[in-house]
Chains A and B, each alone.
Chain A
Amino acid sequence: MSIDHNPPAADDASLQNTTAEQMIIPSINLRKKRHLGESLIQGFLFVCGAFSILTTLGIVYELGKEALLFFRSPAVSLVEFITGTQWQPHVDEFGILPLVNATLMTTFFAMLIALPLGVCVAIYMSEYATPKARSRLKPILEVLAGIPTVVYGYFALTFMTPLLRGIFGSETVEIYNVASGGLVMGILILPLISSMTDDALSAVPHSLREAAYGLGATKLEVAVKIVVPAAISGIAAAVIVGISRAIGETMIAAIAIGAGPNFTFNPFRGAETMTGHIVRISSGDLSYDSMDYNSIFAIGLMLFLITLVLNIISQRIVRRFREVYE
């Protein structure tokens, strides 16, 4: 993130000045020249850089504008939106809790898989694996991270759901259910958490490990009592990014979790996450300025804010933990 570069041009100019004086060549003007072309290029590159600001402004403006239209509508009140347990647009019931609840339950199941497994994988890769094993295992995890989410959705529906139904009985587990989508989402997030945790563990200085070994600690004690606590902020950041990813994950939810906003705490029943709802509503022929159209912006705004806050928290944590060892 280093955007501070000492502009070398200025240094060069002063350097050249001294040499020029020594060589006595007075006719050459050695002041820094302004080239029109150079300035144009710099201007163009600045526009490229600033373009991302436009994207953010676009997101905030459009989500805010349409969400405002949504909340202005007489059918919606903000209190009902936040506390209502029914989401049924056709009868003007707009309580977002069923959607939020499904999102949180899915995230819970995803983290149930991804957090312990991800941290264990990272500890293995960083503390136990030989460099050779590491160089073989890492690409496999990268492949896992590169598989499109629609494929994970297919996997949840055609593998995880039948598996769960086989274990718990098909009368308890519905075809579309939260648990199946959540567990597969855990597999999706596993590489993210393990690679971020791996980075955090690898950043812990070797002197700490050696000191612990010197005091007679076993390998496990060094890993769990020294390295993991020293990297705990990095691990926390990884977990938060994982949660944010799970909340924003769409295709698994749309394919495997269901298509009805049920307010239920039973993980084997179908429900609908915020993202899944947006996809279902917008895959039909959506007419502009309808309540459905505006409502996806209101849900999108909530999604955007939640993930943004989580990402910012995680960056703060990472920045603080970097300062400790650098």
Chain B
Amino acid sequence: MNPTQPDNSTVHPLEIPPGSNLGRRHRLGKLWRVIFLASTLVGIVSLITLLLNILNDSLGYVAYEVDVDPATLSTSSLPLEQLSKDELMAILRQNISTNAYNTLETQKPFAQRSQSEVYDLIYERVIEPEVAKTWTLFDSLFYRSQIFAEVASDYPQATVSFVFWINPDFLTHPQSSDPILAGIRTAILGSVWTIAITILVALPLGIGAAIYLEEYARDNRLNRIIQTNIINLAGVPSIIYGILGLAIFVRLLEPLTSGAIFGVGDPLTAKGRTILSAGLTLALLILPLIIINGQEAIRSVPNSLRQASYGLGATKWQTIWHHVLPNAIPGILTGAILAISRAIGETAPLVVIGASTYITFDPDGPFSKFTTLPIQIYQWVSRPQSEFRNIAAAAIIALMVLLLTLNAAAIYLRNRFTRRYS
């Protein structure tokens, strides 16, 4: 910046005017430059540590003990997985009580169950694997021999295997109290249902409000209040929305949100703590974000477009619908996607409105009880046993992949469309 300064500092010390501390100032400048850069690196290192920490927990060695060795169950030389359904049913009948068998029959008749479902039942009821201990990826890689030594001395009955906690079975199995069998199918479906309702409600309302505030609203007191109010709502902690949802959707509108007035749903079990309540609560939560982002997108459409349209005799709505919106929609959608990914990761409001923590059946509509991915993660993280930490890490990976995909879509939209007028 100042080319004369380096020269000054190399001149004979006596030539520098007394009191000059240029060398010190430059050293200080360099020091702080390093500090500023280091701070930025701390941010990046935190992100990497966070991701590695998740990865570290999501795969590694597991020692588990079984009640019955699967090899002894099989009547033929084939492994258990390859037996026919009838053979498997025979094994199941031998190894569980008649009562238990009948209960299973009433839950879902065996005639309707597939071979793999019966196999899962045997795995769950007869083999009953139980985790003795799990190790992180780091330990599994660097202390392999110690792990096997420890298992040999402490858990002589246990089998050790290297487990990827996130695997197809994990994604497709319903929840279970046994971490080996547990999956996030119910949680994923719950998340999808909830977000679908959130989008259905928040997107039209949010875009409508953004259009109103940018295109119609005159600068009067009421509109200024609306605008200020939206900005303030964006800063309200998410848990407050949870409390609002609990009071309004779960309690006040219970007949609606439990589906009672439509004659559907099971009002006794859900009591308003349904997917519909959750979706509406999250819609309120992300509405201000969608509006604020939408306003920015609409504002960036050049006024010349509007004037050209009016000049051709178009009405206000024709102008908005045919010219303003098509040009603003990429920006609106980018903002909306970011808001939706916020809603997907949101946990606190759903805990407050009472998302079910343990359900094993798939949610089948807006009036169903539900759990979502973040809530599932919260539940598993809260358990003291380390194996639940492993499946929490696996569920976090599933959640992050979903969010990163959405964010990548938002960035793609932004890069693809925003430079049209610049």
Residues of A within 8 A of B (CB): 1-5, 7-9, 12, 35, 37-38, 41-42, 44-53, 55-56, 58-59, 62-63, 66, 116-117, 120-121, 123-125, 127-129, 137, 139-144, 146-155, 157-159, 187, 190-191, 194, 213, 216, 218-221, 224, 241, 244-245, 247-251, 254-255, 275, 278-279, 282-283, 285-286, 288, 296-297, 300, 303-304, 307-308, 311-312, 315
With a CB–CB cut-off of 8 A, which chain A residues contact B207? 48
Supply 5 A–B pairs (Cβ within 8 Å), ascending by A.
Answer: A42-B316, A154-B54, A159-B50, A250-B348, A275-B239
* B173 at interface by CB-CB < 8 Å: no
Inter-subunit contact B39/A124 (CB<8 Å): yes
Within 8 A of A (CB), among B198-214: 204-209, 211-214
| B6-50 interface code vs A (CB 8 A; 1 in, 0 out) | 000000000000000000011011001101111110111011011
Check B39–A304 contact: CB distance below 8 A.
Answer: no
B37 near A124: Cβ-Cβ < 8 Å: yes
Report yes or no: B287 in contact with A55, Cβ–Cβ below 8 A.
yes
CB distance from B187 to the nearest CB of A (A): 12
Docked-complex contact B317 and A38, CB < 8 angstroms: yes
Q: Name the one of B1, B50, B231 contacting A151, with C-beta atoms under 8 angstroms.
A: B50
User: Is A53 a contact partner of B307 (Cβ separation < 8 A)?
Assistant: no
Asked if B215 is at the interface of the complex by the 8 Å CB criterion, the answer is yes
Given contacts A144-B46, A279-B239, contact A51 B205 (CB under 8 A): yes
For chain B, the count of residues having a C-beta within 8 Å of the partner chain is 102
Q: Kindly identify, within residues 226 to 255 of chain B, every residue whose CB is under 8 Å from any CB belonging to chain A.
A: 226-227, 229-233, 235-240, 242-244, 246-248, 251
The docked-state distance in angstroms from the alpha carbon of A66 to that of B240 is 13
Q: What CA separation (Å) do A204 and B215 show in the bound complex?
A: 31
Looking at the assembled complex, report how far the CB atom of B327 sits from the nearest CB atom of chain A, in whole angstroms.
16
Among B71-79, B94-102, B150-158, B217-225, the one that faces the other chain is B217-225
Measured between beta carbons, the chain B residues less than 8 angstroms from A1 are: 227, 231
Partner of B307 from the list A8, A128, A224, A255 (CB cut-off 8 Å) is A8
Residues of chain A lying within 8 A (CB to CB) of residue B382 = 255
Cβ–Cβ contact B306 & A8, under 8 A: yes
Residue of A at shortest CB range from B386? Answer: A158
Chain A residue with Cβ nearest B4: A216
Which of B109-117, B137-145, B349-357 lies at the binding interface?
A: B349-357
8 Å CB contact of A124 from B36, B341, B404, B411: B36
Residues of A within 8 A of B251 (CB): 288
A51 / chain B contacts, CB cutoff of 8 Å: 205, 209, 287
Contact between A52 and B288 (Cβ–Cβ < 8 Å)?
A: yes
In the bound complex, how far is the Cα of B236 from the Cα of A249, in angstroms? Answer: 10
**What residue in chain B is nearest A119 (Cβ atoms)?**
B39
In the complex, how many angstroms separate the beta carbon of A291 from the nearest chain B beta carbon?
A: 16
In-complex Cβ contact of B311 among A12, A213, A248 (8 A): A12
Does the CB pair B47–A140 fall under 8 Å? Answer: yes
Return the contact of B403 from the options A146, A191, A244 (Cβ within 8 A). A146
B284 at the interface (CB under 8 A from A): yes
* A121-B244 CB under 8 A given contacts A46-B216, A282-B352, A283-B357: no
Q: Are A153 and B378 in contact (CB under 8 A)?
A: yes
From B206, B235, B247, B381, A150 is in contact (CB under 8 Å) with B381
Q: How far is B247's CA from A66's CA once the two chains are assembled, in angstroms?
A: 9
Q: From residue 349 to 396 of chain B, which have CB atoms closer than 8 A to chain A?
A: 351-352, 354, 357, 374, 377-378, 381-382, 389, 392-393, 396
Which A-B residue pairs are the 10 nearest by beta carbons?
Answer: A248-B237, A148-B345, A48-B208, A120-B39, A4-B219, A124-B36, A250-B348, A45-B212, A311-B235, A220-B29
Asked if B347 is at the interface (CB within 8 A of a chain A CB), the reply is: yes
Q: A139: nearest residue on chain B (CB-CB)?
A: B411
Across the interface, do B239 and A300 meet the contact criterion of CB distance under 8 Å?
yes
What's the minimum C-beta distance from A322 to chain B, rounded to whole angstroms? 14
Cβ A307 vs Cβ B216 within 8 A: no
- Any A CB within 8 A of the CB of B84: no
Docked pose: A72 CA to B340 CA in angstroms? 40
Decide: A53 near B235, CB < 8 A? Known: A8-B310, A282-B351.
no
A226 to chain B, nearest CB (A): 13
**Given the complex of chains A and B, what is the CA–CA distance between A158 and B28 in angstroms?**
38
B53 at the interface (CB under 8 A from A): yes
Closest to B215 in A: A5
Among B43, B206, B229, contact of A56 (Cβ-Cβ < 8 Å):
B229
Q: Are B310 and A9 in contact (CB under 8 A)?
A: yes
Q: Are A49 and B1 interface neighbours, CB within 8 A?
A: no
Cβ contact within 8 Å between B209 and A140:
no
Question: Contact between A219 and B341 (Cβ–Cβ < 8 Å)?
Answer: no
* Chain B min CB distance to A296 (Å): 6
A304 to B291, CA, bound (A): 21
Cβ A157 vs Cβ B381 within 8 A: yes
Quick one: given A116-B39, A149-B347, are A219 and B33 in contact (CB under 8 Å)? yes
Residues in chain B near residue A45, CB distance under 8 A: 208-209, 211-212, 216
- Contact status of A49 and B213, CB under 8 A, knowing A12-B310, A58-B248, A62-B247: yes
